A = this chain, B = another copy of it.
Amino acid sequence: MFNISILTIGDEILIGQTLNTNSSWLSAELSKIGANILTQSTISDNKVQIINEINRLFEISDMIVVTGGLGPTHDDITKITLCEYFDDHLVLNEVILKHLESFYIQRGRTLLESIALQAQLPSKCEIMFNSVGTAQGMLFEKEGKFLISMPGVPSEMKAITKESLLLFVKSKMVELKSKVKVHKTLFTIGVGESILALKIGDQNKFLDNNSSLAYLPSYRGVKLRISVVASSFEKGNKIISKIENVIMQKVGEYVVSNELENIMELISLKLIEKSRTISVAESCTGGLLGGALTELAGSSAYFNGGDQVYSNNDKINRLGIKTETLIDFGAVSKETAIEMSENVRVLHNSYYGLSITGIAGPDGGSIEKPVGTVWIGIATPNSSKAICYNFGKNRTVNRELSVGYALSMILNDLNSM
């Protein structure tokens, strides 16, 4: 296998002020092309630590993918450390300097000195061009092993990866005849990890040393990931098919896709296929469900807007909820959820009306309606219903799970007759 270690440099990650989304994204992209991600690590903006970590990772990996520490500010020392490590020195790269100048001129700004320094690059490295920013990707080789250093800004790291790094790794894997690690994910909704594990049972009955199964829970469903090491994608996929069949026999009822792992992509495809539109009425989620429904480009084809009705006044004045409904049953009730979904559907002239009303917490609960009680309503031209969930005490979790289950309800309806 082609073993890759992902190394993040940056105190902002170590101290917990920034979430390491780069490692996650890089791992996913490199896994897709069959590489094996051996380890991810994060260390400080510190020369000695960087050198020690590179030494350690070169021992175990074919390639080290480094992000961070290449920006224009003082705390970024990766570039000079790499120069020292690879016994190299900086030279002015005229092509990059020209590019930086035009980059700034296009935006009507002058080139800051700190940014012009980004055109000073190690003489021995191969430049992997950054088409969206100022810090370049730098590829070094040492005794047949590779290190690529990229900026930590996600959009820039992603551009360099897509335009250069993935192609490089692919061609190396072909050249070295590396074994590949192939993955397939079955995406389930409406069921927890424990129940799935119970139904799937002893996995040693259908897995061997070269195959594995992982349970990946998220707010929007549990993913079952099958992984197989094989000499080619073709052979790996054959083995995966067999394992997939076994799993489908056991828990197929919950699986909504074996291709897409993003519930919004599934919903988007079905809404467009069936020419249906959707509107939302959100109380405790404040707009997050609309945010989810507009995540994908082209969402104007199905998202017909909605109403963020946080207070009773809003529910009455903007959504026409009957005062009696709120008095008799309360804002967090089946009746209010249904009326919200029906009214928002009609007001926005949509096929679906979806509503969320609940007690996100951490305060505001009662014995009858504890924190975490959420009613989700769905209305179509022919019917309406609401389901009650009891999520728990954490505000963020309750809001995210409310969005996740609301999306499940839409998808289930779209998948029904």
| CB-based contact A24/B20 at 8 Å | yes
CB atoms of B42 and A15 under 8 A apart: no
In the bound complex, residues from chain B placing their C-beta under 8 Å from that of A287 are 280, 282, 286-291, 293-294, 306, 308
Task: Return chain B residues, CB-CB under 8 Å to A185.
Answer: 17
**Cβ-defined contact, B23 with A42, below 8 A:** yes
- Of A268-276, A310-318, A375-383, the segment with at least 4 beta carbons within 8 Å of chain B is A310-318
Chain B residues with CB under 8 A of A88: none
- Please tell me if the beta carbons of A11 and B311 are within 8 angstroms of each other in the complex: no
Chain A interface category by residue count:
35 or more
Cβ of A309 < 8 Å from any Cβ of B?
yes
Interface string of A350-372 (1 = CB under 8 A from B): 00000000001111000000000
Chain B residue nearest to A396 in the complex (CB): B295
Q: Mostly helix, strand, loop or mixed at chain A's interface?
A: mixed
Using Cβ atoms and an 8 Å threshold, which residues of chain B touch A300? 310-311
14 further contact pairs, Cβ within 8 A, besides A12-B225, A16-B25, A39-B53: A15-B227, A17-B216, A19-B24, A38-B43, A40-B42, A72-B193, A75-B213, A287-B291, A290-B290, A294-B399, A297-B361, A303-B310, A306-B308, A307-B308
Binding site for B on A (CB under 8 A): 11-21, 23-31, 37-45, 49, 53, 56, 71-75, 112, 114-115, 132, 153, 155, 183, 185, 193-194, 196-198, 202-203, 212-218, 223, 225, 227, 261, 280, 282, 284-291, 293-295, 297-300, 303-311, 313-314, 317-318, 347-349, 360-363, 392-397, 399
